[in-house]
Amino acid sequence: MTGVRLGYAAPMRHRSSSLVLAAAALAGAALAPTPASAASRSWSDCGRAATTEAAVQAGLPARLDADRRLTQLLDPRRPSTVYTTASQALCADYDGDGDVDRLALLRCCTVSSPSPFAVLRNDGGRFAIAYARLSDPVFRLSPGRRRTLVERTPVYAAGDPNCCPSRLRERRISWTGERFRSTTRIVRAPR
């Protein structure tokens, strides 16, 4: 089967045409529009492979490679060759159109490395990037109340070890009905 990755497709391990056709059918089913009755408005965990494929379809590898901060940090490597699969995948019908939208969070390297994430809007099986933050070192990304996403990034004080910042920047990301809006506050990190 073909392994889906953001930057490339992994080499085929089995050459059987029946396996290839089965994989193609499964991939198509994973990205097919979902009936409104099956689409939840609340964010919840979902399949990372299908989310990675949706991110590729939406053009996330090109967005990563075009981000100046990521290209400077990872030089000479292209960001899309470092961030290759979704490490966290969330699904919801955030816009109420009946299609399951996806969120892909990508991780690499160290605790202080950027962890890009993107909300991928599903419009009848075609994905597009609706919201993205590409350069934040995300500690945690979790569903909040009322279709809100909560992103937590470290805020280090002098003397804080890399593992344990004393404060966190908490960004709440919510859908207004027309666009995503974010609000930010600094909170004390749990100890």
* Neighbour tally for 133: CB within 10 Å: 19
For residue 35, is pLDDT > 50?
Answer: no
- For 59-86, b/e burial (b = at least 16 CB within 10 A) is ebbebbeebeebeeebeeeebbebbbbb
pTM for the full predicted model: 0.79
Averaged pLDDT for residues 133-141:
92
Taking only the tens place, the pLDDT of each residue in 166-180 is 999 999 999 999 999
C-alpha to C-alpha distance for 129 and 165, rounded to whole angstroms: 30
Q: Which residue has the higher pLDDT, 31 or 108?
A: 108
Per-residue pLDDT of 14-32, as tens digits, reads: 333 333 333 333 444 444 4
Write the pLDDT tens digit of every residue in 64-98: 999 999 999 999 999 999 999 999 999 999 999 99
The H or E element that residue 3 is part of is none
Q: Where are the alpha helices (DSSP H) in the chain?
A: 17-31, 48-58, 60-66, 68-74, 79-82
Q: Which two tokens stand for residue 186?
A: 């600094």
HSE-CB at 135 with a 13 A cutoff on CA atoms is 10
